Chains A and B, each alone.
Chain A
Amino acid sequence: MNPMPEWLQLIIALIVFAGALITLIGTIGLVRWASFYQRIHAPTLGSSLGAALILLASSLHSSFGSGRPVLHEVLILVFILVTTPVTLMLLARATLYRDRSEGNPRVPR
């Protein structure tokens, strides 16, 4: 087990910071945008690129820390990338159904 060089630790920390920042930008979009159909796009920024950056940085950190490839985090990443489109599609269909059955005039066609 060899200690990581400091520049590598710095790069990994910066990758984590960038992922956190991208997640925050997505959540700000969730707060600021006006209608639900705009808002449903915002958190996907965090669930795709933000999660990818943070989880890959965690994988790199434990790989270089222990001297062997550690791929646990890729499991979470694949799970998130597969399930997020499915759940958001279900939610958008449910919202569309509710709006149409109420006769809401501002529903996208």
Chain B
Amino acid sequence: MASVIDWIYFGAQFILGLAMLAGCWRVVRGPRAQDRVLALDSVYLSAMLLLVTFGIRSGTVLYFEVALVLGALSFVTTATLAKFLMRGEVIE
């Protein structure tokens, strides 16, 4: 039973890794800048969920804090880049 649960967690981590890979494909390929920003946001989200899954497996609180910081960084990054795309500068 314990090995089955381990394999399920490994599968979930593999799937989240695939999600990050698909987001990276869109970052590289994206026709325009806004596609790249959107894909970067989704890569941030997948990385955060991957860290939470690592935290469940290892049972420490450390990964939770990294995930919280990643969530905050994702908000700041996407909002700032959207402002940059709209105006051409961040602080006017």
Q: Could you tell me which A residues sit within 8 Å of B by CB distance?
A: 6, 9-10, 12-14, 16-17, 19-21, 23-24, 26-28, 30-31, 36, 39-40, 42-43, 46-47, 50-51, 54-55, 57-58, 61-62, 65, 72-73, 75-76, 79-80, 83, 86-88, 90-91, 93-95, 97-98
A23-B45, A72-B64, A91-B85 known; 5 new pairs, CB 8 Å cut-off, are A24-B18, A31-B25, A80-B71, A93-B82, A98-B85
> Which one of B8, B19, B64, B79 has the highest number of Cβ atoms from chain A below 10 Å of its Cβ?
B19
Residue of A nearest to B16 (CB): A20
Which residues of A sit under 8 angstroms from B42, Cβ to Cβ? 26-27, 30, 42-43, 46-47
The distance from the CB of A90 to the nearest CB of chain B, in whole angstroms, is 4
Q: How large is the interface on B (under 10, 10 to 19, 20 to 34, 35 or more residues)?
A: 35 or more
Decide if A58 touches B15 in the complex (CB within 8 Å).
no
Q: Known interface pairs A36-B32, A55-B52, A58-B55. Does A83 touch B75 (Cβ–Cβ under 8 Å)?
A: yes
- Sorted nearest first, the 6 A-B pairs with minimum C-beta distance are A43-B42, A94-B86, A20-B12, A90-B82, A87-B78, A27-B19
Contact A57 B56 (CB under 8 A): yes
Q: Is the CB of B4 within 8 A of A10?
A: yes
CA distance in complex: A19, B52 (Å): 12
Check B56 against A16 for contact (C-beta < 8 Å): yes
User: Which of these, A24, A31, A90, contacts B79 with CB under 8 Å?
Assistant: A90
Name, among A9, A47, A93, A97, the residue most crowded by chain B CB atoms within 10 Å (CB to CB): A47
Q: Could you jot down 7 A-B contacts, CB within 8 Å?
A: A6-B2, A24-B18, A27-B46, A39-B38, A62-B59, A79-B68, A79-B75
